[in-house]
Structures are given as structure tokens and as C-alpha cells.
Amino acid sequence: MNASQENRPHMTMANSTVTLAQQLREIVGNERLLTARSDTLVYECDGFVLEKDSPDIVVFPETTQEVSRIVQFCHAAGVPFLPRGAGTSLAGGCLPVGGGVMIVLTRMRRILEINLRDRYAVVEPGVVNAWLTRELKGSGFHYAPDPSSQGACTIGGNVATNSGGPHTLKYGVTVNHVLGIECVMSDGQVIQLGGPLDEYPGLNLTGALVGSEGTLAIVTKVWVRLTRDPQSCRTMLGVFESVDDATLAISEMIGAGIIPAALEMMDQGILVAVEQAFQFGFPLDAGAILLIEIDGLDVGLDAQRQEIIDICMQSKAREVRLAATEQERLKLWKCRKQAFGAIGRLSPSYCTQDGVVPRTKLPHILRRIREISQQHDLRIVNVFHAGDGNIHPIILFDERDQQQLRRVMLASNDILQECLDCGGSVTGEHGIGVEKLSFMASMFSPQDLEVMERFRDVWNPTGKLSPGKMLPTAGACGAEQIHPGRRAAL
């Protein structure tokens, strides 16, 4: 599984690595640098566990200046290097392909400024998403992107992957909320793109940097937009006999021009696990449930809620329950956001996919997922951002069974291919990372990819920053691959 790792003599550090480690130690000191194999092993993968590779050196800078100096040394030494936040990426965005230096930004964790009047905040990249939310509580403003991993994931990581979250249906994804970025270029130069305003002269490089998965620069400071809290909200639970009925209701809602703040689906498979874990009182015999939240001015919400209930009932919902209290609402959201944690009750290992289809194609893709599940004799459960058409089929398996592992790969491929056939995407919020490299050539033409490469080359001319990510290297496109394998450094 770890081919390049075997080829690389890890146990005894090469002289050049020792020298580099010494240089970096002068910047960060002994306590913020790791080189022992037993220590660096912790950083061999992120939330994507199918591929692993240890970095040679892990450093924990605390300032932009330190990042800049570290990068200068890495650049001079010609070694691969990459940034890492909390390591919650599900696509291998933090996999240190080819080893090298991992720059962990979790010690840059200060909220530098909150300016409610001008509706922005400035944070360091290691600030955990939920910390900002907590800091803003009661202020009347919030930071809108709320990925399910928000209790752990960092804003720097959110910027790198353009994270979504349940409430992005109405409020938009990370790119819609990032105003400016300070970053360290691949040669160590520090630049600022954008700032506290929503527009600056010149090209919009802030937007282009969001979602670039660490392949263009290392983010050291972020200006984020703050959004006014909605006055009120209504949270509902639609209970459906079948997945088909639930997806039809979603399609009808969007078609009727209703944009809820969030619209999430859980199927029976996941419901059982979530119920065991949190005892919410979900009906275990239901085929699927929809978690629907609308927000805005209180005065308009009851009418909208009725409209939603009517649509659900017309789509053969068994019932629509209302979250009567704030506690009940928070518990519902806890169930949704921690659903992944509950999966351990179903299976020793699981693999989450992240496809997107046009919203009207949801009934179709869910049916196809059932067929694919049967075809490969694998159990697949679903919990996802239905309103965006962003599916997260979770394939359950046992990592120890190599045969099963192969079928997991085939099933994943089939599902993502179907998303593309529906006119969708192979990733809505997790990113390409290393996991989906092989799909880039199906989604984009060689010309599209060439233009992207030319764009990347200006930022990252040696390719040593986050190598082997996001763009398939030349020549790899035609290769038939089942396992999304690692590419050599550029």
C-alpha cells in the first residue's frame, strides 16, 4: 500500500534531511519540531486512510515570519513540503506525498480581530472553525460556513478545501465568505490578497486561492466575512417511507423556489446507528428522514414552514415533526453533524464519497447507489447535504478483507462516474486531494487541465509545494487505475 514509503529509507535520515532539520530547529526550537519516526507517523495521513506516507520533518510555526523562513529553507533544499491544519481532510489533502517537511499550522490559532461594524474577522489559519462561532456567540453575527467537522477543522484548512457544511445551501460555501488572505508563496515570499473589503483592484486571487488545496501557497492569515444572525428559525424533521419519496420532496421544494437554510437527508441505514448513539427518538422503520431548517425574519417563517409541510405530505411523508425547543433543535443537529462518528457502530471501516448531482437528479442517483450496493455486495448508507445535491454515500467494509477493499474502490468509482454522467462533480466539498486525482481527466479536458497547470506553475514553479495533489501529472491521464494511486512529485 505504501510503495514510495518502502523505497525511501526512513529509518536513517539522509544527511540533507539532518541539515534541514537543524536549520528549521533554529527557527522553531526543539520543542516545535519532530523528526523521530514514532512522532512523524502520527502525520502519515488525514481522514483519508487508504494511503499513508510519513513526513521526514514536522514543524509547528507560530508566526507568518516563521512559516516564511521554513519555506525558504525547504525551497533552497529542494524538498517537498506542505501545510496541514487539523488533518480532517477526507481526500488525502494532507498526505505528505514523497515525505519532506510538513508545516502544521495549528499553533497559529489567534483570532486577531473581530469587527462587527464592518462585518469581518481576521484569523490565523489554525483557528478552529467552531472557536470563531463560539467567540461570536451573542454578538448578532456569525461566520457562516459550518462543516460537520467544525469542532476540529481549522479555518486555514477550510480555505484550502473550500469547505461547505449544512448551512451553505442558503449562505454559500467558504469562498463566498473569504474576503482576503495573507499567504506565503512557495519561495517564502509573503503576500496579501484582498483584505477586509469585498473587492480590490486587480485579479481576484483570493477566490482562486480558496479551494486550491495547498498547491498554490500557504495561508497564514484570513479575513472572513461575518454574517448577521437570522432573527429566527424553524427546524423540522420529515419522516418518509422511502428514499425515493424523500428525494422527490427535496426536488419539489427547490423546484418551488424554497431555499431552506439547510436541507439534509439520512437514510435508514445511518438512522439506526445515529439512534443508537444519541437516542433522539428517530423512527427506525422510516426509509429516510429529512432535516429541514428555514431561517430569516420570524414573521415569514410560519407560512414557509406550512409550504414545506404541504410539499412533504404531497410527497407521501409519513409525518413532519417540529423541533419544539432550542434543545431539541441542537440535538437534531448534533445527530446530523456527528453521524459519521456513529458509523463505528455499523462497521469497522468505512469510506465516504462526496459526489454532486443536479438537485433534480437526486432520486436517480440514490436509486443507482442502491443498485451499485447490491452489485458489489457492499452495504452503503447515506447522510448528506440534499439541498445542494451533494451526496455522501458511506460504504461500509472491513479493512482487513483485501477482496472487499477492492470492491469498495469499484463501487466508489461507479458512484462518482454516475455523478459525472448526471452532469455533476466528483467532489462538492472534500476536494480532489490524492483520492480523486484519477477523476480529474474525466471531469476536465486535457486543455482544461493544462491551463490549470500553467496557473499553478506561476505560484509553485518547482512543484515542491503539496506535490501529487489536485492535478494529475502529465502522462497519468490515460492510465487505467482502480486504486487512486499516488503520483510521484512533479
| Residues between 418 and 437 that touch other proteins (CB under 8 A) | 423-432, 436
CA distance 57 to 59: 7
Binder of other proteins out of 135, 241, 444, 485 (CB under 8 A): 444
Q: Whose Cβ is closer to other proteins: residue 356's or residue 380's? A: 356
138 binds other proteins (CB under 8 A): no
50 binds other proteins (CB under 8 A): no
Residue 21 CB, shortest distance to other proteins, in Å, is 31
Residue 13 CB, shortest distance to other proteins, in Å, is 35
Residue 248 CB, shortest distance to other proteins, in Å, is 12
457 binds other proteins (CB under 8 A): yes
Residue 295 CB, shortest distance to other proteins, in Å, is 11
Residue 17 CB, shortest distance to other proteins, in Å, is 31
Q: Whose Cβ is closer to other proteins: residue 229's or residue 241's? A: 229
Stretch that binds other proteins, among 9-17, 263-271, 275-283, 386-394 (CB under 8 A): 386-394
Binder of other proteins out of 19, 204, 276, 306 (CB under 8 A): 204
Binder of other proteins out of 52, 221, 337, 456 (CB under 8 A): 456
CA distance 70 to 458: 20
Binder of other proteins out of 43, 131, 143, 439 (CB under 8 A): 439
Binder of other proteins out of 29, 78, 255, 281 (CB under 8 A): 255
| Per-residue contact string for residues 101-120; x = within reach of other proteins by CB under 8 A | --------------xxxxx-
For 404, other C-beta atoms within 10 Å of its C-beta total 17
Site for other proteins in 325-364 (CB under 8 A): 356-360
Site for other proteins in 145-174 (CB under 8 A): 161-162, 164, 168, 172-173
By CB under 8 A, the count of residues binding other proteins is 85
Residue 53 CB, shortest distance to other proteins, in Å, is 23
Grid coordinates standing for 232? 429566527
Residue 374 CB, shortest distance to other proteins, in Å, is 26
| Cα dist from 44 to 159, 285, 298, 371, 431, whole Å | 22, 41, 48, 35, 18
Residue 138 CB, shortest distance to other proteins, in Å, is 12
Residue 3 CB, shortest distance to other proteins, in Å, is 26
Site for other proteins in 225-254 (CB under 8 A): 228, 231, 251, 254
Q: Whose Cβ is closer to other proteins: residue 154's or residue 251's? A: 251
